[in-house]
Amino acid sequence: MSSALLRWPHRRGATAHCLARVRLVADDARGEPTRGYVVLSELRDNPRGLGITTDIPGVVGAVRATLLPAAWPPSALRWYVHHGDFSTYDVAGADTLTQLFPSWDHDDVVHDDVHDHRLLRPHRAAALQRFLVLRPVTDELQAWPAPAPRAATE
């Protein structure tokens, strides 16, 4: 699993950021990875109005340009947005994962339709987090040197 504090120029004209985690998976123990998972965690200190879901083409392009091998086929990826207490200053409750279904046209332009986004049921979200061995966002951010966003203390 690789992770990064991903920054990208948001379509609304400012720089947005999120915690981006990528896991490439082989179908057997000896094989090369054939599928991948991208989990984009919304962080509370991302500027207001610059959320991940308001610029899926921008964040997808940034992930593909910086965190994935150039030859990796977009169709082999599953995309998720992750929300939880780390996403807001308010009480948020349990973590959620929303699956995205970005598409690419013949010119490699990313398209997204919010009507295609699917919120995973809690048991499926928990199972996916276990499968991907996702560390809690606050633990991940606290392990990084500054200037990673500060984790909440309460």
pLDDT per residue, tens digit, the chain (154 aa), is: 788 899 999 999 999 999 999 999 888 777 888 889 999 999 999 988 999 999 999 999 999 999 988 888 878 899 999 999 889 877 777 899 999 999 888 777 788 888 899 999 999 999 999 999 999 998 888 887 655 444 444 3
Answer yes or no: is 128 within a domain: yes
What local confidence, expressed as pLDDT, does residue 8 receive? 94
Rounded-to-integer distance, Cα 50 and Cα 79, Å: 18
Query: Does 152 map to a domain?
Result: no
Query: What is the reported pLDDT for 133?
Result: 92
Question: 59: closest CA among 23, 99, 19, 87?
Answer: 19
Query: Is residue 119, in this structure, part of any structural domain at all?
Result: yes
Counting other chains too, the contacts that 12-16 makes at CB distance below 8 Å and 24 or more residues apart are 12/49, 12/50, 12/54, 12/55, 14/47, 14/50, 15/47, 15/50, 16/46, 16/47, 16/50, 16/51, 16/52, 16/55, 16/58, 16/59
Per-residue pLDDT at 10 = 94
pLDDT of residue 154: 38
Residue 117 and residue 101: Cα distance in Å, rounded?
A: 7
Q: Is the pTM of this model over 0.95?
A: no
Q: Has residue 87 been placed in a domain?
A: yes
In the chain, how many domains are there? Answer: 1
Q: Specify if 9 maps to a domain.
A: yes
pLDDT at 143: 81
Residue type, 106: H
What integer pLDDT is reported at residue 152 of this predicted model? 40
Query: Does 51 reside within a domain?
Result: yes
Domain coverage including residue 41: 2-142
- What per-residue confidence (pLDDT) applies to 34? 83
**Is residue 147 in some structural domain?**
no
Residue corresponding to tokens 């308010």: 90
| Residue 20, domain member (yes or no) | yes
